[in-house]
Amino acid sequence: MDLLQPIIKPYAWGSRDALARLQGRDTPSAGPEAELWMGAHPSGPAGLTRDGRATTLLDAVAGDPDGELGGACAQTFGGRLPFLLKVLAAEQPLSIQVHPDRDQARSAFAAQQARGGHGPYADDWPKPELLYALSRFEVLAGFRDREEAAHLLESLEVDGLRPVIGLLRAGTGEQALSEALRALLERAPDDRAPLTSAVVASSRRLARSAHPHAAAYAAVERMSGHHPGDLGLVASLLLDHRVLEPGTALFMPAGGLHAYVHGVGLELFANSDNVLRAGLTTKEVNVPELLRITDPAVRVPVVVPRSVPGPGSTCLYDCPVAEFALYRTELDGSSGPLVPASGPRIAFCADGSARLSTRTGNTEPLRLGPGASCFLPASDQEVLVEGEGTLFVAAMGLFPEERGAIAQSLFFSAMTTLSHHRFPRRVHILLRGFPGDRLEKGPHRCTPPWTSEGPKSRERWWTKGGPSSTEPNSPHPRGSPPNAWHGRSTP
């Protein structure tokens, strides 16, 4: 086990309070602090100390891939730690962006290298993402329904949007959304300022009305203060606007257009830094490449946590990717084996404290306080954890046989429960986890204890001074929102 020294990224959109408060430092910080990186990406590898010598997690993995990652992981991912964990503190809106899948990243990066290396691709890896909201978190996540997008633009009563509305109304499929986005982003330079000015003015009016999407218009008004004249302000109305409650997790598949607007969250993603931007940025917007990578049919589902055996209360946030999975444990003072038990892992203490030790005692125990993290190599297979607080563990995605074992365990648990209880309403059992499963919409009445419906939990550092959103409630305050991710698919 190695205590990590995470890397802080000082991007301009970051907070001067959230990360400093997390780590127990004085606030405000000297400058904006946007992201806390815990991983082995070349752009910001976390530091650690081995045998009294300072090094990085990147160098440690490169020096012994099989020992650090395990043979299966090293072979599958070419000797690279497959995931990157970070805390994201968005005080200002991030760019509207999209990430490639594996085939797109490989071919595009190879072509870029053949042209001399300059271009938008940082590496040849995909970048699907999981976002876990630590505070209320405002996002733009995936395209809206085509007709709904047309209605939002039409309500603005801006003549310059008529051609875009026409594209949406004339289309019969998801591709009409991409064509509408293209029409906005390829607007003539002289028309951009008048169009965005008119859209912001109308959004300000609608944000104060009884319009069902007043919150989305309010977001446009707020974002205009950080990105005046940016066409991304108009494009944002094509996207689904949501405010996530703490404890909610979203899966951002490759090809899904999205933006993080405001909040503090834990982000876990494939070990890549590939980003293609569509707006709300001063950086290059490569419209042809952006539209080639963007898939308008991609939806951004909520990840429904599943209880798994572990110390305290342990949940798995599993996504249909091979690179990562997230585990969350509410430690209750008892001791038990760390979950998962094998493979490379990064443990992060969000609040309280956690003590990690090995059964063999051949390594010194580690105590993690709020904001602290450690790397557990594949060779540390019998790790015990105890304490009181919230511990997240990032790990590899599940193999098909592991998903099958979990699904079987859940099935027998459900059968046992049903045999002892009578329910006043119809019960739906959703069994997923086998090859061929898909993203599905469906009812979900199992509420995790940290949501607004569950027992009140103690105040967290990240709930103080949360997002200044004008939307009073989560878009789906009860039960599971549309596009909830009940299924699992084979990587």
Q: 3 near 372, Cβ under 8 Å?
A: yes
Nearest to 118 by CA among 127, 126, 109: 109
Q: 234 near 186, Cβ under 8 Å?
A: no
State the catalytic residue, choosing from 80, 146, 222, 277. 277
- Residue 263 is which amino acid? G
Instruction: Let me know the angle formed at the C-alpha of 65 by 62 and 68, rounded to the nearest 5 degrees.
Output: 105
Q: Which helix (H) or strand (E) holds 80?
A: none
Taking each helix axis as running N to C, give the angle between helix 146-155 and helix 162-170, from 0 to 180 degrees, rounded to the nearest 10. Answer: 160
Phi first, then psi, for residue 215 (nearest 5°) are -65, -35
Strand partners, 374: 3, 347
SS3 326: strand
SS3 128: coil
Q: 276 near 99, Cβ under 8 Å?
A: yes
- Measured between its terminal Cα atoms, the distance across the chain in Å is 28
Token duo for residue 332: 């209750």
Q: 302 near 248, Cβ under 8 Å?
A: yes
SS3 448: coil
C-alpha pair distances (Å), 77 with each of 72, 102, 109, 323, 462? 9, 12, 17, 8, 34
Place of tokens 């305290």: 312
d(CA 444, CA 451): 13
Catalytic: 277?
Answer: yes
Where in the sequence numbering do the catalytic residues fall? 277
